[in-house]
Structure 1
Amino acid sequence: MNKLKIYIAAFAAILLASCSESFLDSEPITSLTDANFYKTKADADMALVGCYDGVQVIYANGVAFPVVSEVLSDNCFGGTGYVDSYNYQLLDESDISRSPGDVDLFNDTWKAYYKAIYRTNVLIQKMDQIEWDGDEAARNAVESEARFLRAYSYFDMVRLFERIPLLTEPSNDNIPQSDPAATYQVIAEDLQFAAANGAETVSPGRVNKWAAKAMLARVYLFYTGFYGTDLPGVTKAEVLQGLEDVIASGNYSLIEEFKNLWPAASTTVNEAGDDLVTTYAGKDNAETVFSVKYNITSDYNGNTDGNHWMVMYGLRTQSFSPYGQGWGAGTVLPALYNTYQETDARKTASIIAVAEEGLDFDNSDQREYTGYAIKKYTPMSYPDGHSIPEANGASNFMIGQFQDYVVMRYADVLLMAAELGSTNAQTYFDQVRERAGLGSIAVSEANILKERRLEFAFEGIRYWDLLRQGLDAAGDALAVNTRVLDGGAEMTKVISKQNFTETRGFQMIPQSQISLSDGVLIQNPGWNF
């Protein structure tokens, strides 16, 4: 096995530096302006780095999409500290009265998305003024990546808020929210362009045509499931063929052992008890189709390159190597832990079972304690208690985490192709189950959805899979009336189906944005303050 130092050294090749913001500021602080920039292929590449950086930074402040997707789901409760605000309970329970002062809970998130979208819109608008020297492939690659990143940003937003202002070019106009069908049409068109024109090669940290084909399938399944109608301009046959293309490309494969996809799951303390050993497959392994990249260099001076949200999932203020400390959000429902078969390798690779692992965890400062926590995305520490990021030069464990967010894995490609009716559906389904150590069962929509929950737990997918099954079914799955521990004392945790259905599964528009729009923006149902 490799020393964990190998894992530390396996940073992504692309470091998305925050200095890329300079040429996109409204008041330039460098010599780069619209008048002298966007001229050469090198300018285009630099601007594209800024687009990637914009997407990377989306999750750095506010409530990050990967976290909110799990808190909203039936995988996790809100958790956090016993004396913290109740903002995560507000989300979990679809109830503004749980934390009435948090009417701007998503304000930083909202602004970050539109900053990222602005960057992509600028670059797309400038494509014709760049001198490509006859290199049409280079032009198509840049535009494909920019349009993928715009589609990715809008897909997050439209799932969170449904009706959002739709901007496809740089603008300061105060425009009303668009019908979701219009937003989804732009997303689909962007992904279709990227699928047709994107690079075929796989480069760490870069979008290619295969990622676009896979993402189009995810969009298609959500839209057709939730809205019960065709995705504008996209056919089922086109989507399925795209997935078959990804599979046939030979660029991706399942990692042999599921635990090796995840740093904490694949890492143990050595026999001497003074170091860690790991079998982690590394960033950009054969199963990664698309990920949001992070590195260790975040600081409080404008560099925002680290994974700032993963600290939320760490065990509350305590470390048990290889697990590091964090803020105790996303406590895992025992029902999910018990859904896994004992022979399912994903059970212990996905979830920290406190009692079963013999951890002497003090839950007196933990809200909604269940005895289970997220393992896939958790901070890590050395046996001496030092945070791995801090020990390797990070500013601190809160902003220095560097595990990538794997948005799309090859396993998802296989299961989506099976769900969409591939002639190889049983084979694809069996491949995922066999990797988990399970035998073959009949492929069906119901069995695929069950498998998806177990395969993709804590990867920001489950809640959206629930929504696409319909509000009634989703509400039944989310409703809870159970006992948990708050600060070590028993209390009743209730999640109401009625609260959920009143919101239709969407989140509140930040009040600051409604005020800034002079009432042009309208609050979503179920979130009246």
Structure 2
Amino acid sequence: MKKYILILISCILLGMTGTSCTTDFLDVESPDKVFVDEYYNSDERIFEALVAAYDPLKWFDYAWGQYTHIGLVSDVMADDVYVGGADENDCIYLHRMFNYNALPTSVVSDLWTTFYSGVNRSNVVVENIENVTDISNENKALYTAEAKVLRSFYYTWLWKLWGNIPYYEQNLTFPYIHEQSTADDVYNGIITSLEDAIDNGGLPMRTTAQWYGRVSKAMAYMLYTEVVMYQQDESRYSKALSYMEEIIASGSYDLVDDFALIWEEAGEWNTESIFEINYVSTAGKRAWDNATGAGGSVYPKFIGINNLGSSPDYEGGWGFEPVRVETYEMYDEADERRDGGILNFADYTVSTGATYTGRYQDTGYFLRKYLPRVGGNAGHAADADMNYNNNFRVYRYAETLLYASELLARGVSGKGTAQNYLNEVRDRAGLGSIPATVDNIIQERRLEFVGEGKRYWDLVRTGKATTVLVPDGQYRTNSWTPNKKYLPIPQNEIDAAQGTLTQNNY
């Protein structure tokens, strides 16, 4: 039986006229319409589906009414930044996550929708590509691998945030309900799918400039290692290390000399960049009534400096995600990552005469990496606030080196040494050598990735969260406990699941 593209519209129209909707008409051949299961019949059309599977990556900052940038969402649960904004009720779901008292009715529920949209679109590619005849074996394998890696990426975020979720690799049919999997079963699904994509997809180690933003083998390797390390799956540590050292040996990536340059438009897709989510301001069509349209990002505006004046470099914003004083002060004065990634406004005022008005939880320190640059939304075609061109750096070569260093420090046998890999990262920062212990490497990850959404997951996977994520004597009044590892499942999803979802213990 064919699935007709206009089923839903037909049923709605029939319902409006008081006529019940049956399925009899589905058997009728249409002389001038394309059927869903007949559409994906060429390389061009299945590639359209693959492009659609990439699209939800750009919705992470804002799509359905919540501000849910994945770096921000991760970091507010850690210890490097505050939430900020007007007060503790401004984006209350973020403030609740910051204080470990999220509720099913006050949590980042929009991310659930975005991630499953990505899963759905990725499944469309995998399910339909076998029926495509007008495609080379090379492209067939490549597109399938890309879709599986994307699906694994979306599932990884669902798994890290909620743990026990519905996991499926074939899209659901009415009533669109699937049994809940345990977090361990979700992990097994993610890792098995990734291994298949890596082994059989023909992914390039690095994409060419024409295709920056598409999945590469290095990106798949990084995702694989991230998942394995978070699961603490020691049986796969050796493979993860081999992947990291393969990236290193490939010569396709290298650290850039100037850490501060990474975050400028000129630094996008530099030699250090393994995977970025692309945002473009020119002709950007994202708008408050078209948040999933093509274009730029709202995240820079979200974390921009409130009532900013006389700045030659940055545009103003809404004052979210101020960097903690302790975060800035943890750096050695010689560390180029301190001022290369964080804006010390007191110093900036002296050099430029710039002014601003502090908002809730203001510290005077801001995440320079993603602040809105002057002209950063140039050429936008819709809402200016929604169309900044700052790409989000998901994986950098520095993380490859630090994963390799950590795995070696944990006793895994490899080709290099933990010390040499750690030294490379510190040399670029302008620092001397320190012993390559696991604790030192985890701290180095903190210094390297402030504001990049890594710190919280490192604290959880290393068992440090219970002692580090405690009341701060000012804003955070609750402590992280193991039952806070997973957020409460959004209440609307619990309701829609008709008893098939069990709420997390939160």
TM class, shorter-chain normalised?
Answer: 0.7 to 0.9
Aligned residue for 1:291? 276
Aligned residue for 1:87? 93
Q: Using the alignment, how far apart are the partners of 1:351 and 1:187 within structure 2? A: 34
* Cα pair distance change 1:361/1:519, threshold 3 Å: farther
Say if 2:427 is the partner of 1:434.
yes
Identity %: 28
Aligned residue for 1:143? 144
Q: CA deviation at 1:81?
A: 1.4
Q: Using the alignment, how far apart are the partners of 2:252 and 2:222 within structure 1? A: 13
* Cα pair distance change 1:49/1:184, threshold 3 Å: same
Higher helix share: 2
Q: Using the alignment, how far apart are the partners of 2:298 and 2:91 within structure 1? A: 19
Say if 2:113 is the partner of 1:111.
yes
Residues 50-61 of structure 1: pairs in structure 2 closer than 5 A: 50-61=52-63
Say if 2:304 is the partner of 1:314.
yes
Instruction: Please give the secondary structure, in 2, of the residue aligned with 1:376.
Output: helix
Say if 2:354 is the partner of 1:350.
no
Amino acid corresponding to residue 70 of structure 2 in structure 1: F
Q: Using the alignment, how far apart are the partners of 1:49 and 1:26 within structure 2? A: 24
CA shift digits 1:289-334 (9 cap, x unpaired):
1111111213336424322333221112435331222221111111
From 191, 194, 199, the counterpart of 2:197: 194
From 495, 512, 516, the counterpart of 2:477: 495
Say if 2:449 is the partner of 1:447.
no
Say if 2:420 is the partner of 1:420.
no
From 357, 370, 375, the counterpart of 2:368: 375
* Cα pair distance change 1:440/1:28, threshold 3 Å: farther
Say if 2:308 is the partner of 1:326.
no
Aligned residue for 2:180? 177
Q: Using the alignment, how far apart are the partners of 1:448 and 1:26 within structure 2? A: 55
From 329, 336, 347, the counterpart of 2:327: 336
How many pairs align?
Answer: 456
* Cα pair distance change 1:169/1:157, threshold 3 Å: same
Which structure has the larger Rg over C-alpha atoms?
A: 2
Contact kept in structure 2, 1:433 and 1:439, CA below 8 Å? yes
Aligned residue for 2:24? none
Aligned residue for 1:209? 217
* Cα pair distance change 1:40/1:157, threshold 3 Å: same
Contact kept in structure 1, 2:402 and 2:445, CA below 8 Å? yes
Contact kept in structure 1, 2:285 and 2:380, CA below 8 Å? no
**Unmatched segments (≥5 aa) in structure 2:** 11-31, 409-413
Amino acid corresponding to residue 250 of structure 1 in structure 2: G
Contact kept in structure 2, 1:92 and 1:495, CA below 8 Å? no
Residues 8-407 of structure 1: pairs in structure 2 closer than 5 A: 33-61=35-63, 62=66, 63-82=68-87, 84-96=90-102, 103-133=105-135, 135-172=136-173, 173-196=176-199, 197-200=201-204, 201-203=206-208, 204-224=212-232, 229-230=233-234, 235-263=236-264, 281-296=266-281, 297-300=284-287, 302=290, 303-319=293-309, 320-358=311-349, 361-363=355-357, 366-381=359-374, 388-389=376-377, 391-407=378-394
Q: CA deviation at 1:350?
A: 1.1
Contact kept in structure 2, 1:116 and 1:153, CA below 8 Å? yes
Contact kept in structure 1, 2:93 and 2:108, CA below 8 Å? no
Instruction: Please give the secondary structure, in 2, of the residue aligned with 1:171.
Output: coil
Amino acid corresponding to residue 309 of structure 1 in structure 2: Y
From 399, 405, 410, the counterpart of 2:397: 410
Instruction: Please give the secondary structure, in 1, of the residue aligned with 2:481.
Output: helix
**TM-score between both structures, scaled by the size of structure 1:** 0.81
Contact kept in structure 1, 2:92 and 2:106, CA below 8 Å? no
**Unmatched segments (≥5 aa) in structure 1:** 1-22, 264-279, 382-386, 483-491
Contact kept in structure 2, 1:106 and 1:509, CA below 8 Å? no
Aligned residue for 1:272? none
Say if 2:459 is the partner of 1:466.
yes
Q: Using the alignment, how far apart are the partners of 2:451 and 2:50 within structure 1? A: 29
Q: Using the alignment, how far apart are the partners of 1:198 and 1:67 within structure 2? A: 33
* Cα pair distance change 1:57/1:27, threshold 3 Å: farther
Q: Using the alignment, how far apart are the partners of 2:334 and 2:85 within structure 1? A: 31
Instruction: Please give the secondary structure, in 2, of the residue aligned with 1:55.
Output: helix
Q: Using the alignment, how far apart are the partners of 1:85 and 1:452 within structure 2? A: 28
RMSD over equivalenced CA pairs, Å: 2.4
Contact kept in structure 1, 2:285 and 2:382, CA below 8 Å? yes
Aligned residue for 1:3? none
Amino acid corresponding to residue 206 of structure 1 in structure 2: R
Deviates more, 1:235-244 or 1:404-413: 235-244
Instruction: Please give the secondary structure, in 2, of the residue aligned with 1:126.
Output: helix
Contact kept in structure 2, 1:198 and 1:208, CA below 8 Å? no
Instruction: Please give the secondary structure, in 1, of the residue aligned with 2:274.
Output: strand
Q: Using the alignment, how far apart are the partners of 1:350 and 1:522 within structure 2? A: 41
Instruction: Please give the secondary structure, in 1, of the residue aligned with 2:393.
Output: strand
Q: Using the alignment, how far apart are the partners of 1:193 and 1:317 within structure 2? A: 50
* Cα pair distance change 1:84/1:504, threshold 3 Å: closer
* Cα pair distance change 1:348/1:28, threshold 3 Å: farther
Instruction: Please give the secondary structure, in 1, of the residue aligned with 2:197.
Output: helix
Contact kept in structure 2, 1:70 and 1:460, CA below 8 Å? yes
Q: CA deviation at 1:337?
A: 0.6
**TM-score between both structures, scaled by the size of structure 2:** 0.85
* Cα pair distance change 1:429/1:44, threshold 3 Å: same
Q: Using the alignment, how far apart are the partners of 2:108 and 2:376 within structure 1? A: 30
Q: Using the alignment, how far apart are the partners of 1:316 and 1:418 within structure 2? A: 40
Amino acid corresponding to residue 34 of structure 1 in structure 2: V
Amino acid corresponding to residue 158 of structure 2 in structure 1: M
Contact kept in structure 2, 1:321 and 1:380, CA below 8 Å? no
